[in-house]
Amino acid sequence: MAIRSIREFGDPVLNKPCKEVTEVTPRIRELVEDMLETMYEANGVGLAAPQVGVLKRIVVIDVTGEDPMILINPKITESDGEQTGNEGCLSLPGKGGIVTRPNHVKCSAFNIEMEPIEIEGEELLARAICHELDHLDGHLYTELVEGEVYDVKPEADEDDEEV
């Protein structure tokens, strides 16, 4: 496993749509392990493959620090409710913004064994799923910010999650 460089705002790879994964190869397994290690090292709760320069439809999410989710070719199948709150991104370090997202989502995907799975999340998990899946289509949260993107204080409180 290795920590990979996180691509930052302005890198053209972050604005490109990703390709579906058709099989899990040893390289894909290595990518997923590296993504998890990179996300934890950066104190994030989610990371999408394009954020490490790979245009594949893969995201990793762990909002608890103890329950990593690997989502391959994820799609949101249901969403409802609304939440508005602070959002950040590992590709825009030190920045944040107010974003409205669904409060509840269902997502279908494949796990690392390419078995179909469905996950359901509310609040932070719903926000993270939406945020990471946006990355797979070349979109950043800054497109949804209400008002201005702002500088996050170095001692960011728990409400300023970087997803």
Task: Name the CA radius of gyration of the chain, rounded.
Answer: 15
**pLDDT, tens digit, for every residue of 36-59?**
999 999 999 999 999 999 999 999
Cβ–Cβ < 8 Å for 39, 71: no
Is 113 part of a structural domain of the chain? yes
Largest CA distance in the chain: 43
Report residue 37: phi and psi, to 5°: -65, -40
Q: What are the percentages of helix, strand and coil residues in the chain, rounded to 5?
A: 25, 30, 45
- Strands 95-101 and 83-87, bridge-based pairing: antiparallel
The CA distance from 93 to 160, in Å, is: 11
Report pLDDT for 1. 74
Is 163 part of a structural domain of the chain? no
Tokens encoding 32: 């997923």
Residues 6+ apart with CB under 8 A from 163: 44, 45, 46, 61, 87, 88, 89, 90, 127, 128, 131, 132, 141
Report pLDDT for 160. 52
Is 160 part of a structural domain of the chain? no
Report pLDDT for 153. 79
The CA distance from 21 to 109, in Å, is: 11
Which residue segment(s) compose the domain that 101 sits in? 12-151
Is 47 part of a structural domain of the chain? yes
What is the average pLDDT value for the chain, to the nearest integer? Answer: 94
Is 3 part of a structural domain of the chain? no
The set of catalytic residues is: 132
In the three-class reduction of DSSP (H, G, I as helix; E, B as strand; rest coil), residue 29 is classed as: helix
Using the predicted structure, report yes or no on whether residue 161 has a pLDDT greater than 80. no
The CA distance from 44 to 152, in Å, is: 14
What total number of domains does the chain contain? Answer: 1
pTM exceeds 0.95 for this model: no
Q: Give CA 153 to chain center in angstroms.
A: 22
Q: What is the CATH number of the domain that holds 116?
A: 3.90.45.10
